[in-house]
Every structure is written in C-alpha cells, then in structure tokens.
C-alpha cells in the first residue's frame, strides 16, 4: 500500500468532476487501501480520490466518536448526498490546501448513499464530525474546494506556528494513540 502524493490546490485535476466507479473490484480495493494509508500518513480525517490524482468517486473518512472516544472509518464509493438539514459555520482545512483553514457553511445533518468497500449499498444518516467530513470529501468529487465557499481568499486563516491540537494517530500495529501536534507546517484539520 504505497503512500501517494497529495495534489495541491493549484493542480487543475482538483477542479475536474470525478466519474462513477462501475464495479468495486480489486483495483478499487487497492485504491481504497492506498487512500487510507495516505490519509493516515498525512494525519488527515478524510481523503477523496481526486486528491491523489484519481478521478473516481471514492472517499475515505475517519472520525472519533465524541461519546465513546472510538475511532471509526467510513469508505464510500459513488457517494451521493440525498438530504441536508440545518446549517452551521464550520472551521475547515484540507490536505490539498496546506497551512490554511477557513470558516464555511455546512449542513448540520446529511443523508448519504453509496457503496461500501465490498460494493454493498449503504445509506448513512449522520451529523457531527462525519457529516462535516463527508460533505467536504464529496465536494472534492465534483471539483469543489472549501475555499469556493469563502467570500474572498482574504478570509483564509494561516495555521500559526506553535498552534497545538490533539489528534488520534494510527500506530503500525493498527492501534491508536492520542498525540499533541504542533502545527508548524502542519495542515489545519476540521474542528467543531
């Protein structure tokens, strides 16, 4: 499972619309594995296939349950937002826009359908972190970046050196540890 390079906002591939996956086969399984590994290596919470230069409708997301503290992973192939409810202003960062974050409007709750990594139909009704991450990653599939929701690029905030945040990091053995990360050149992550 190689760690793939992440495209940054200047790359025109990030502005292209991704195509539907016709069949969830071994090639898609390898892509998903690479995406998860790449997301972990970059301490991201989500990743869309276009961010690694693959114009297919595949996303991965990882979020921490706010009550149980468990880490959950979601993989969606051909995801589609069916319904949005409510609105809030969310602080958002992106692995493709390193070193910056911005505050953008997002739905509080979303209903999303797609296929899981085995090709089985799934439907998710979710809110909180997962709803936030899914909206961000599905936008990537349509060539939309969170900066498109800003009134001006002047509204972007630079991640200040020395800023600290608490994150969950995956160990080589598959378990997780909580770490404090200093945000020198790190990427801003979505917060609530």
Read off φ and ψ for residue 3, nearest 5 degrees.
-85, 125
DSSP string, the chain: -PPPPPPPTT-GGGGSPPBPPS---HHHHHHHHHHHHHHHHTT-SEEEGGGGT--BSEEEEEEE-TTT--EEEEEEEEEEEEEEE--EEEEEEETTEEEEEEEEEE-SEEEEEEE-TTS-EEEEEEEHHHHHHHHHHHHHHTT--GGGGSS-GGG-EEPPTT-EEEEEEE-TTS-EEEEEEE-SSPPP--B-
- Nearest to 143, CA basis, from 6, 5, 13, 4: 13
In the set 62, 92, 137, 183, the catalytic residue is 137
The token duo for 102 is 């911005």
For this structure, is 182 an active site residue? Answer: no
Positions annotated as catalytic residues are 137
């Amino acid at each position: 499972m190689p760690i793939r390079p992440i495209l940054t906002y200047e790359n025109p591939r990030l502005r292209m619309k991704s195509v539907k996956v016709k069949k969830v086969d071994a090639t898609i399984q390898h892509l998903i594995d690479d995406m998860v590994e790449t997301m972990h290596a970059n301490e991201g919470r989500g990743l869309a296939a276009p961010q690694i230069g693959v114009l297919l409708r595949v996303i991965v997301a990882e979020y921490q349950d706010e009550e149980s503290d468990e880490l959950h992973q979601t993989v969606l192939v051909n995801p589609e937002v069916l319904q949005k409810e409510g609105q809030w202003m969310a602080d958002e960062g992106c692995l493709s826009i390193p070193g910056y974050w911005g505050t953008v409007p997002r739905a509080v709750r979303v209903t999303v359908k797609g296929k899981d990594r085995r090709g089985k139909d799934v439907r998710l009704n979710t809110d909180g972190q997962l709803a936030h991450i899914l909206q961000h990653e599905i936008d990537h599939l349509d060539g939309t970046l969170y900066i498109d929701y800003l009134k001006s690029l002047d509204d972007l905030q630079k991640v200040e050196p020395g800023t600290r945040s608490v994150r969950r990091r995956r160990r080589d053995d598959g378990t997780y540890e909580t770490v404090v990360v200093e945000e020198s050149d790190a990427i801003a992550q979505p917060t609530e």
